[in-house]
Every structure is written in C-alpha cells, then in structure tokens.
Amino acid sequence: MTTPLALVTGGSRGIGRAIVARLLQDGFEVVNFSRRPPESALPGERFQSVDLGDAAAAAAAATALAAARPVLHLVNNAGVIQVADIEAVTQDELARMVAVNLTAPLLLMQALLPGMRQAGYGRVVNSGSRAGLGKPGRTVYGATKSGLVGMTRTWALELGKAGITVNTVAPGPIATELFDQSNPPGDPRTVALEAAIPVGRIGRPE
C-alpha cells in the first residue's frame, strides 16, 4: 500500500511544525515547503526551501512535486503578518502578505488539483485567523485571511462533487514565534488579549 503524501507549507515552526508531526504520526509522508529548514527533520519528512512570496517559484515547486507523484493532501499553513495601524500600511507590505497568504495557496491548489481530480479524492485545509473577523493593526493580514475563507468556500462548492473537500481552520492565540512577533509579551494589548481567553492561557501548537 502506498504511503499517503501530504504537502504542508510553513511546516518548519509553530503550528506548521505540529501539523507535520501529527501527519507523520498518522502514517503520512510529508513534504514541507518553507523558506527555512526545521531545527531537526523528522523521519518521513522532506524539506524543500521555497519562497512562497515568489509566485513563479511556488508554482514551479508545486508543479514539479505533483508531476512526480499525485499529492492528495494539502495544508496551506504558511502566512506572514506585519502589524500596522491604517496610516502605516505600505504597498510593499500589502503585496508581500497577499503573495504569501492568498496567491500561494491558489497556485499550490492549481498545481495539485489535476491529480486530485484524477483520483476523485482530495483533502485541503487552509489556515485562517480570527484576525479575519477584525483586529486592530491587522488591516492587510485580516483582509488576506478573510479572502482565504472566501476562496475556501468557493473551492468547497466547486470541488465537492469531485470528491475534494476544502476547509479553513482559524486558530485563536497560539504560542508561536509569529504570535510573539505581533503580540509582544507585556504589551497592554497582549495582556488584555490573554485575560479575555476563557481557559486563561494561550494555546499550544500541538
């Protein structure tokens, strides 16, 4: 029996690292598309350095992977964030976040979709964010995550009859490098955020 293959983006740290570990535990072979390698590779994991902000590079890497073997499981986890109030948002930041958070998931989906259609099966999970509901300092990030939800809903409607399911998971506050980067420890807004969590603590990636 062939070991199922999953592609995970941003699988070298944080939530992505936990996703890679869980898929391996569940018997998958995992390809990790990230800019930086993980601190230590896990058995069954293949790391490939890919700048998901580079549309041509992202599409080429996914197309080459799919040409070698159908990839029926995709987790679009990678994301970038730049916290900025409205007045401070720049076009460069807008372009970068759209490229990684929206364009890359679309390009990867397009590259893997022929194999999924041929198999009559596919499972796709996109990583959203509660920032998509609105959060100060997240003009662009929130917009990209809202957009990802919109794409997810459309893909689910278009592809369901082909045996392909598409879902978004939108985590709350999770203790990752990305969270600390945009929510500095001790900052009044971070303290208020933590105080509002019903279980009284930040979530863990696993």
Q: Given 33, 141, 155, 179, which residue is catalytic?
A: 141
Residues in the chain: 206
H or E element in which residue 144 lies = helix 139-159
Report residue 19 as tokens.
Answer: 């996703």
- Spatial neighbors of 136 by CB under 8 A, at least 6 apart, are 85, 189
Report residue 14 as tokens.
Answer: 């944080």
CA distances from 155 to 10, 28, 146, 205 (A): 21, 24, 14, 26
H or E element in which residue 194 lies = helix 188-195
Respond yes or no: is residue 121 known to be catalytic: no
Catalytic site positions: 141
